[in-house]
Amino acid sequence: MYIVIAGLSDIGRNLAELLSKEGNEVLVIDRDPTKCAELADASECMAITGDAGQKSTLEEARIKSAHAFVAAAGDDSENLMLCMMAKEMGVRTVISLVDEAEHAETFKQAGISLQVNPDIVAAKHIYRLVSQPYVKDFLSFEGAEIFEIEIEEGMKCVGRNFSDLGTPNGVKVLVVQRGGKYLSADKEMQPKDWLTLIVNRESSRKGTEFMNKWFAKGQS
């Protein structure tokens, strides 16, 4: 994929390098020539020194050919403007960092469907580590969350078929893996199996109760 990123903040740089390592074609726009040069020297990313708020800069970046545009500039107002310009120039997937949670609705009203608040994302990860240590990774979407759980000794689910766990409405087991292979629903779960499940946002309390029942050690 060809991806354009506006802004070499820490998140913008890390994202650019990660996408590039995964084999994507990445171009970054930033006003700071030193940051652009450092990125270009240290990675396979391309960099343009300039103002992403100028149409000519976006045209130089071949924005109309981009599969996605990410606004990672200094503040929400600038990110909003950049996203609107990218949409007007034909980019279908437009993503923005949002520093202030109260600004998220403004982005939605402008048609920017994908927003990321780094502070909220970090807080959610810390919350999961503290309250649900059995959750090894998760993805949060507007309408649902996906959880990855490693089965360990002492969990109530060990020795049970995952089809027998009695998932409540709004909670669905997507897959169970063992040694890289997918298990059928009639297989008993064992330590070191990995389970992936999805929880609808409106069922988050039921999802937490379900996970605590089967995966929190010491639960009755």
Nearest CA-CA partner of 194 in 156, 162, 154: 162
Distance CA 30, CA 162 (A): 49
Distance CA 175, CA 97 (A): 31
Two tokens, residue 209: 């109760």
- Judge whether 74 and 7 are in contact, CB under 8 Å: yes
- Predicted TM-score (pTM) above 0.85: no
**All domains of the chain, ordered by start, with CATH?**
2-116 (3.40.50.720), 121-215 (3.30.70.1450)
Distance CA 161, CA 184 (A): 9
**What number of helices (H) and strands (E) belong to the chain?**
7, 11
Two tokens, residue 112: 């920017």
pLDDT at 198: 94
**Residue 77, C-beta contacts closer than 8 angstroms, at least 6 positions apart:** none
Q: Residue 213 belongs to what H/E stretch?
A: helix 204-215
Going residue by residue through the chain, which has 220 residues, state the pLDDT in tens, using 9 for 90 and above: 999 999 998 888 989 998 999 889 999 999 999 999 999 999 999 999 999 999 999 999 999 999 999 999 878 899 999 999 999 999 988 998 888 878 888 888 888 867 777 777 777 777 787 788 899 988 877 688 899 999 999 999 999 988 888 899 999 988 899 998 998 878 899 999 999 999 998 999 999 999 999 999 865 5
Nearest CA-CA partner of 71 in 165, 5, 13, 127: 5
Distance CA 206, CA 212 (A): 10
pLDDT at 206: 92
pLDDT at 220: 52
Chain-centroid distance of CA 55 in Å reads: 28
Chain-centroid distance of CA 215 in Å reads: 24
Helix (H, G, I), strand (E, B) or coil at 120: helix
Q: How far is CA 49 from CA 31, 32, 97, in A?
A: 5, 6, 20
User: Taking the chain, what is the end-to-end CA distance rounded to the nearest angstrom?
Assistant: 48
